[in-house]
Structure 1
Amino acid sequence: MNTIDLHMHSIYSDDGVYTPTELMKMCKDAGLQIVAIADHNSTKAIPEARNAAEKLKLTYIPAIELDCTIHGVDLHVLGYGIDENNQALLDNAEYVKKQAQNVGKEQIEKVKALGFYIDEDACYALSHEGVITGEIIAEVALQDERNHPLMKEYLPGGSRSDNPFVNFYWDYCAQSKPAYVPIHYISLKEAVDMIHAAGGIAVLAHPGNNTKENLSLIDAIFAYDVKGMEVYSSYHSPEQIAFYKDYAEQHYLMITMGSDFHGKTKPSIALGGSHCPDTSLYENAILSLIK
């Protein structure tokens, strides 16, 4: 049974929908025992989640997911065992949020230029603190029947309908896609240094999404004192899990696991999931992350 999930998102991520307390109750109901909320560039969930987890007798690990870049590639790096009050982390959260608030309108215009009808007011109504994500644009687009001929893949029964909002983001709004609008993220080195200064360790999130099996890129990432890899992810195929597990073991990296549960933006992803067959193999190492 999978009893560990170290990657989920609360309302303090722009694309999360559950409060930290709600998430901890859901983790308990799912049979999880060791958990972490890793919100995008934010530590706001940690005090509430830690308190809720303690009441529910869950083991909680404070975490964050930092956006960063290396060699022009956007990455997500997880920081575990961090001090949520670290000033550099707090400053970076504001730095990213202000940029994200400014790019939403431009991204809407780029999506509209591709032939979609997008209600800007509806996007802002769904946003957190004025941050419009690709997933929000997708949700609004799918509500407008005029877009359905262009969005058959995302409608029920379509090839991208399992997680329609985030799939639309990956297909249209992610890096290198036609509606991509860049945000200037910190470098990988800055992210790792920030995590270390906050007392944590750095772990590469869902490499199957960002690095694929590009060994030269993966080697470059782990040259920056990244100590672990999220080998078990809801995004990884069995073949990818085997590839990343082998890499992690050869390089003496900590192996972690996470669902990347968000709620409605990724409805096919469940807390815990079935991507990690036996989390007990990694429990002792993961418990060392608790401060």
Structure 2
Amino acid sequence: MKRKSVDLHIHSGYSSDGTFSVPELFQQAESYGMEAIVICDHDTCEAWEEAKKESERTGILSLPALELSCIDENRMVHILGYGIDTKAETWMSDTVDKIQTSRIEILPQIQKNLEAEGFAVDMEMVYKLAAPHSPVITNFANAILMDPRNAGNPKLEIYRPGGAKSDKPYIRFIRDYLVAGQKCYVPEYIVDIYSGIQMISEAGGIPVLAHPGEWFTTEDEWKIGRMLECGLRGVEVYTPYHSEEQTLYFEDLAKQHHLFATAGSDYHDLKKKPGHEMGKIEAADMEMFQTLTQMIEEKK
């Protein structure tokens, strides 16, 4: 597929599971001939000041944004927030600080749980993978799968090349062991999805459900009304996470509820997320970016 000129969902090294610096991402985008990229790091807008400078340098358009971690019925869900006021002291900025503090506090228990499950955990590697930020569960998954001491662990064979879950080994490992309801999960400070939507909206942002096919089903449709009341404005319809059937479903859902349909690759690093390549979402284009920009301006 020909690379598109817009990507509304990528990650930088300010995400603990990211790889590339902000300048590196813009260099990549520049080499691809892209016109607009949006960095949506996990629970932080730290990339924005650098992104603004790189945008001015390269002429590649961008917006301040983040991907906020929330909870819904014991499921981790993500809300994209576009156009956040990064300077204001808000409910959201206070929540982000609490999330970051909580993640540091739970690290010893995560390590203990994983070791009890039979995995060797090299905390030095976990911290190295996350540097300069605090580790998150993705860093534990990476460290465990990279650690030679775990090479012969039969529990990990399904994540190795040729295994049933080798297509996205880190993501699959996290889902099997480190999310709510799984053996090694440790609760962290987190807000419910409705509060998350509301706080993004109150911070001047446009709240969009990120890759909803990861959790949202027809049984969740009754929640849309409340989400709209809290300020939901969009759905990430076009994403590598979605099958063709899911894409059609969320296209229809967006139309029914007059929600803006967005597109993003969730690019981190192809080694970490195979198939999630910058600019490779067919539906993404400048019209989509300009509409999103207009929505942000109208909100102001």
Q: TM-score, normalised by structure 1?
A: 0.90
Q: Give the stretch that moved more between structures: 65-74 or 100-109.
A: 65-74
Are residues 1:271 and 2:274 paired? no
Counterpart amino acid of residue 206 in structure 2: I
Q: How does 1:199-278 map to 2 (within 5 A)?
A: 199-214=204-219, 215-263=221-269, 264-274=271-281, 276-277=282-283
Segment of structure 1 superposing worse, 177-186 or 142-151 = 142-151
**How far apart are residue 110 of structure 1 and its match?**
1.3
Aligned 8 A contact 2:9 2:266 in 1: yes
Q: Counterpart of 2:5?
A: 3
Match for residue 121 of structure 1 among 111, 121, 124: 124
Deviation per residue, 1:84-135 (Å, 9 max, x gap): 1122243222211110011122112212222222223332333335633222
| Equivalent position SS for 1:75 | strand
Judge conservation of contact 2:65–2:83 (CA < 8 Å) in 1: yes
Taking the aligned partners of 1:83 and 1:197, their CA distance within structure 2 comes to 9
Distance in 2, matches of 1:192 and 1:217, equals: 12
2:34 counterpart SS class: coil
How many percent of aligned residue pairs carry the same amino acid?
31
Following superposition, the deviation at residue 261 of structure 1 comes to 1.0
Q: State the partner residue of 1:68.
A: 70
C-alpha change, 1:278 and 1:48, in structure 2 (3 Å) is closer
Letter of the 1:84 counterpart = T
Structure-2 residue corresponding to 1:196: 201
* 1:64-85, Cα deviation, whole Å (9 max, x unpaired): 1111234444321111112111
Gapped regions of structure 1 (runs ≥ 5): none
Distance in 2 separating the partners of 1:235 and 1:15: 17
Q: Deviations over 1:7-30 (max 9, x none)?
A: 111111111111111111212223
Aligned to 1:153: 158
Structure 2 spans left out of the alignment, 5+ residues: none
Q: Distance in 1 between matches of 2:236 and 2:16?
A: 22
Letter of the 1:6 partner, please give it: L
CA change 1:90–1:281 in 2 (3 A) is closer
Structure 2 matches for 1:74-223, cutoff 5 A? Answer: 74-88=76-90, 89-128=92-131, 131-142=134-145, 143-148=147-152, 149-214=154-219, 215-223=221-229
Per mean C-alpha deviation after superposition, the further-off stretch among 53-62 and 38-47 is 53-62
Output the amino acid matched with 1:224.
C
Q: Secondary structure at the match of 1:7?
A: strand
Which one is further off, 232-241 or 116-125?
A: 116-125
Shift of 1:189: 3.4
1:134–1:166: 8 Å Cα contact kept in structure 2?
Answer: no
Q: TM-score scaled to structure 2, two decimals?
A: 0.88
What amino acid does structure 2 have at the position aligned with 1:272? Answer: G
- Change over 3 Å in CA distance of 1:249–1:31 after alignment to 2: farther
Q: 1:285 and 2:291 equivalent?
A: yes
Deviates more, 1:80-89 or 1:254-263: 80-89
Q: Is the 8 A contact 1:188 1:224 kept in 2?
A: no
Number of residue equivalences: 290
Counterpart of 2:12 in structure 1: which amino acid? S
Q: Distance in 2 between matches of 1:104 and 1:191?
A: 24
Cα contact 1:61–1:289 (8 A) shared by 2: no
Q: Distance in 2 between matches of 1:109 and 1:187?
A: 27
Please tell me whether the aligned partners of residues 69 and 76 of structure 2 are also in contact (alpha carbons under 8 angstroms): yes
Structure 2 residue matching 1:60: 3-state secondary structure: coil
